[in-house]
A and B are shown apart, each in its own frame.
Chain A
Amino acid sequence: MSENIVDKVTQGEYKYGFVTDIETDVIQKGLSEDIVRLISKKKEEPEWLLEYRLKAYRHWLSLKEPRWAHLNIPEIDYQNIYYYAAPKKKESPKNLEEVDPELLKTFDKLGIPLEEQKHLSGMAVDAVMDIISVKTTYKENLAELGIIFCSISEAVKNYPDLVKSYLGSVVPYTDNFYAALNSAVFSDGSFVYIPKGVRCPMELSTYFRINAANTGQFERTLIIADDDSYVSYLEGCTAPMRDENQLHAAIVELVVHDRAEIKYSTVQNWYPGDKEGKGGIYNFVTKRALCKGVSSKISWTQVETGSAITWKYPSCVLLGDNSVGEFYSVAVTNNFQQADTGTKMIHIGKNTRSHIVSKGISAGKSQNSYRGLVKVSPKATGARNFSQCDSLLLGDQCGAHTFPYMEINNDTAIVEHEATTSKISEDQIFYCNQRGISTEDAVGLIVNGYAKEVINKLPMEFAVEAQNLLQVSLEGSVG
């Protein structure tokens, strides 16, 4: 591979860097019990939720930041962050005219099919812009089927019993430092409930945007799939270019009942920082799914190209007998990005199965780690796991690491792990060159082929975007 190719690969600029100018309703910096109370008050929350937040906040005070990951995390001043920022709103908008035109422009740049395109794309979009849900489409269509798809704050108001019984049931506030922080100050997020026997007819999608400068975004997603139901949920993000680091600590909780299935796809493209490693989002996310029922299924698919630091382990707790957990991931790091990502598969039920495919691509001076746990409890007879972790290195100054953990407490379990690390070989490039494909195109071709296995798992609309993202992230290598 010629050197300028590597240079080009490492010099791709962030294409989605723009700042939308909207008035935001901000409360003062810092975190204290008063702030937690204020957030809760602003959101007109019931007493039990305030109590939950306060308990989480008090627990958070007793915790320290986790430092075990293969990451170099700069000191974060938690008192120098705005914990609440919502787009100013008079009344919740009933139609497009009432929505702030600046906001619509942002969505246009991102290509969100909010109005005209919504029928064409067939997606229901719950657009979260700086925390408060601005507009939810397709709500009526979904309501006919009994599907609830709304922001979590609406859900707290309208379906308090559902939220109360599931919130924190998969990721308790005691789980980790960032989960406790999120539980204390979470601002908004999506809530989905699929009733028994319903197959959600469309892909549910949320676009998250981090917008106001210096705003940590703490979303909370809760998806419940009742017996025999199915839903495919998409989450995608782009963020404006910023100088200061932004903290992002989200929680995603999925609960799957008997024979139900959730497919959760993420394309993450937050601002990764510039070529000198300045700025960028810190992405500390806790995602976990509970396969509560028999024969339930969870499928996580993620394409991670953004963020300065990624600390993310979408996990599956396979509690129900015959439940299935899947994890497909492509993580790309460039310049000074750092990623420590992977999954946890906790086998508890009988005959549970899990499958892990992780593809890491590192370029520039980035560090890319896979960290995963496969745990088989003594009761999980007949558990089966296969993990495959491949790393591709582009350039000689980046690092690729694998840290798989396997804890087997059962003699009937079959657990396998395979990992390889390689670079694009000269043979492969030569083969392409011979057939008239330029070196640049060849690199793009090979990288796309390498990630294909995961990208194929994404829903159609997302797969296209994910491929574009790979191209942007490794710009210059792709023709």
Chain B
Amino acid sequence: MAVNAEQSYIEIYNEFQKTLCAKSAPLLNQYREEAFRAFKSAGFPSRRLESHKYTDLTDAFAVNYGMNLNRIEYTINSSDLIKCEVQGINSYLFFIVNDTFYCPASSQTEMEELRSKGVLIGSLNEYASSHPELVGQYYNKIVHADEEATVAFNTTFAQDGFFLYVPENVRLEKPIQIISVMHASMPTLANARNLIVLKENSEARVLVCAHTMEDVEFMSNRVTEVYVDRNAVYDHYKLENTHSKSSAVSSLAIRQMQGSNVLVNDLTLHNGLTRNTVTIDLTEEHCETLLCGMAVGDGKQHVDNTTHINHLAPNCKSNEMYKYVMDDESTGAFSGKIYVAPHAQKTEAYQVNRNVCMKSTAKMYTKPQLEIYADDVKCSHGASTGQMDDNALFYLRSRGIPEAEAKMLLMFAFVNDVLENVRISALKDKIKILVEKRFRGELSKCSGCNVCR
């Protein structure tokens, strides 16, 4: 165990900077020094920071993790990996193992098919080398290392991840499924870095499934930047199903241009410690955003969703909904901020956070915030924490439904509002089944996976 986590990573950087740079594209190296300075001054976020009041990350990073700075190739058995997918969806399937992009043999032809349309899809590191001008326009432009220490940490060490570029007027009918797996025999830390660019009038849907394989401690510090140009439509679904020894820190930053439409749906089923930071900037008029998420917690799970919706232009709409069901000794935290800039008139922004605590040992912290500097706006937020409605439970039981089943039904109905916000019907069905299984306790991993919590 490292006594001072920051210090050990600072030393690693000073010592291995050359190796790190030699194995990655110059474009990625360009931002390391600046990010490193930001990280050095900030350190890992602790409870003392208002933004991390309910989630201290210093302990999570203090584990003596290994990092694959030398880019040693893993032997990947894709048949193992393939079992993790949400089966039955017709999708373009790719993997990110720790932080390395991996295209399974079965997807090679599809990748070619996409390339013929002008869609670039693949490893960020490779594209940063082969298309430095294109990637350089967007890489590290939306996130700011000096605002979030974990982003600074990611930018300092990031070597690979997923890159998607959808050119103008191209609509991808099939969703892109990225299975992000933590796979190593010893405690491992990965700084995956993803970049997604949608040009004008394009459309894409991305489903990210986060998993862990071996029963060791993992830390995944993921940063995803998404640039959604005019009138583009983008859906981002994230399904987290990892084991209790895993820590996942993810920062999703989206920039929306005029008339674009974005849906983010963040589902946490199984995890250890999760901190999701979602930042959406509505920078031009007539943007629409739907941000939702749910978390089911038991054991000692810790789920923190921190969201920022920044209305920076007039006439934009955003709607946000998060639901938590916390059981056992789990801890849920929700912090949602809606910011309306002084000139962003005619903004409509709504936020709802509803939580259920199933046991007295479960904890729920919620912090919905409005920061409004324009007067002609419609904004509201609502938050509540409570328990199952006894009357509803009684109603079901009086009709012969056993208590456990009735509770399950009610919980499922409770989170259903969030699950309805999936715009691919096949995926919606699959997710509903997964969530139902989760409530039944049948699902400790995706079907077919042999590693349990």
Cα A394 to Cα B379 in complex, Å, equals: 15
Closest to A375 in B: B365
Q: Write the nearest CB–CB distance from B309 to chain A, whole angstroms.
A: 14
A405 adjacent to B358 (CB under 8 Å): no
Q: A415-B384, A415-B386, A419-B381 are in contact. Are A391 and B364 (CB under 8 A)?
A: no
Residues 396 to 414 of chain A near chain B (Cβ within 8 Å): 396-414
CB of B120 closer than 8 Å to a CB of A: no
Contacts of A381 in B (CB 8 A): 360
A421 contact from B368, B379, B384, Cβ within 8 A: B379
A402 adjacent to B382 (CB under 8 Å): no
Contacts of B358 in A (CB 8 A): 411
Contacts of A401 in B (CB 8 A): 369-372
Contacts of B382 in A (CB 8 A): 416-419
Contacts of B8 in A (CB 8 A): none
Q: A404-B368, A406-B367 are in contact. Are A68 and B376 (CB under 8 A)?
A: no
B360 adjacent to A408 (CB under 8 Å): no
Q: A391-B372, A420-B379 are in contact. Are A410 and B357 (CB under 8 A)?
A: yes
Closest to A402 in B: B370
Contacts of A423 in B (CB 8 A): 375-377
Contacts of A309 in B (CB 8 A): none
A411 contact from B372, B377, B387, Cβ within 8 A: B387
Contacts of A412 in B (CB 8 A): 360, 387
Closest to A371 in B: B369
A408 contact from B357, B368, B376, Cβ within 8 A: B357
Residues 347 to 397 of chain A near chain B (Cβ within 8 Å): 378, 381, 391, 393-397
Contacts of B342 in A (CB 8 A): 396-397
A393 adjacent to B386 (CB under 8 Å): no
Q: Write the nearest CB–CB distance from A342 to chain B, whole angstroms.
A: 12
Q: Write the nearest CB–CB distance from A3 to chain B, whole angstroms.
A: 12
CB of A468 closer than 8 Å to a CB of B: no
Q: A378-B360, A411-B357 are in contact. Are A417 and B387 (CB under 8 A)?
A: no
* Total residues of chain A contacting the partner, CB 8 A: 36
CB of A438 closer than 8 Å to a CB of B: no
CB of A422 closer than 8 Å to a CB of B: yes
Most buried by A among B358, B384, B387: B384
CB of B70 closer than 8 Å to a CB of A: no
Contacts of A391 in B (CB 8 A): 370, 372
Interface residues on B, range: 35 or more
Residues 364 to 416 of chain B near chain A (Cβ within 8 Å): 364-387
Cα A417 to Cα B370 in complex, Å, equals: 13
Cα A130 to Cα B388 in complex, Å, equals: 55
Closest to B332 in A: A408
Contacts of B379 in A (CB 8 A): 420-421
Contacts of A398 in B (CB 8 A): 373, 375
Closest to A391 in B: B372
Q: Write the nearest CB–CB distance from B155 to chain A, whole angstroms.
A: 27
B374 adjacent to A408 (CB under 8 Å): no
CB of B50 closer than 8 Å to a CB of A: yes
Cα A420 to Cα B50 in complex, Å, equals: 23
CB of B361 closer than 8 Å to a CB of A: yes
Cα A399 to Cα B374 in complex, Å, equals: 7
Residues 307 to 361 of chain B near chain A (Cβ within 8 Å): 342, 345, 355, 357-361
A417 adjacent to B375 (CB under 8 Å): no
A400 adjacent to B365 (CB under 8 Å): no
A405 adjacent to B360 (CB under 8 Å): no
Cα A417 to Cα B369 in complex, Å, equals: 11
A393 contact from B372, B380, B385, Cβ within 8 A: B372
Contacts of A396 in B (CB 8 A): 342, 345, 374-376
Q: A410-B357, A411-B360, A413-B357 are in contact. Are A402 and B369 (CB under 8 A)?
A: yes
A417 contact from B357, B368, B377, Cβ within 8 A: B368
Most buried by A among B370, B382, B384: B370
Cα A475 to Cα B415 in complex, Å, equals: 48
Q: Write the nearest CB–CB distance from A224 to chain B, whole angstroms.
A: 33
Closest to B349 in A: A421
Q: Write the nearest CB–CB distance from A373 to chain B, whole angstroms.
A: 9
CB of B362 closer than 8 Å to a CB of A: yes
Contacts of A413 in B (CB 8 A): 357, 385-387
Closest to B382 in A: A418
Q: A399-B371, A401-B372, A405-B367 are in contact. Are A421 and B380 (CB under 8 A)?
A: yes
Q: A408-B363, A413-B385 are in contact. Are A419 and B370 (CB under 8 A)?
A: yes
Which residues of B pack against A, CB within 8 Å?
A: 50, 342, 345, 355, 357-387
Query: Can you show 22 pairs from A to B with CB atoms below 8 A apart?
Result: A378-B360, A391-B370, A393-B374, A393-B377, A394-B375, A396-B345, A399-B371, A400-B372, A401-B369, A402-B368, A402-B369, A406-B385, A411-B361, A412-B387, A413-B386, A414-B385, A414-B386, A415-B383, A418-B380, A418-B382, A421-B379, A422-B377
Which residues of A pack against B, CB within 8 Å?
A: 68, 70, 378, 381, 391, 393-423
A-B CB proximity, top 10 nearest: A393-B375, A411-B357, A414-B386, A416-B384, A408-B364, A417-B383, A406-B366, A399-B373, A408-B385, A421-B379
